[in-house]
Amino acid sequence: MTVQLNKDALSHARGLLRDGEVVRDERDDWSEHAPSTDDENAFIEEHGMAEFARWHLGEDTDENTDTKGRYRFPYGDFHRLHRCAVISAESRAGQYHHESIESALKELLEGIDEKGD
């Protein structure tokens, strides 16, 4: 598995942060706030796979570009950046040694926390 940083997604997440499109939720909220499989499928149906990819900071280049399995480390709910998603993804990126993704997520978390003060 080759997972790399999705730079378009990082740019999109930074834009959401800059525009204040952020949910400052708690660490464990992602299980409740994450889009369901049905939500993901409906989003893809309406917006396409390229837009779905913009909501994921990791891209598994071994997977087909037209499958959800290619995109990893979601950071939001297709509307806003979620602090809980960033925390969850940062933990997983560190666990699997995806340093560039982990670093990007740390940057986003710092930005969320700074703007929340």
For 11-66, write each residue's pLDDT tens digit: 999 999 999 999 999 888 999 999 999 999 999 999 999 999 999 999 999 999 99
Alpha helices in 1-116 (DSSP H): 7-18, 30-33, 37-47, 49-53, 83-95, 99-116
Structure tokens at 63: 């997977």
Amino acid, single-letter form, for residue 106? K
Kindly state the tokens that stand for 69.
Answer: 């399995």
Edge-to-edge strand list for the sheet holding 56-60: 3-5, 56-60, 71-74
pLDDT at 25 (0 to 100): 94
Task: Return the number of other C-beta atoms located less than 10 Å from residue 30's C-beta.
Answer: 20
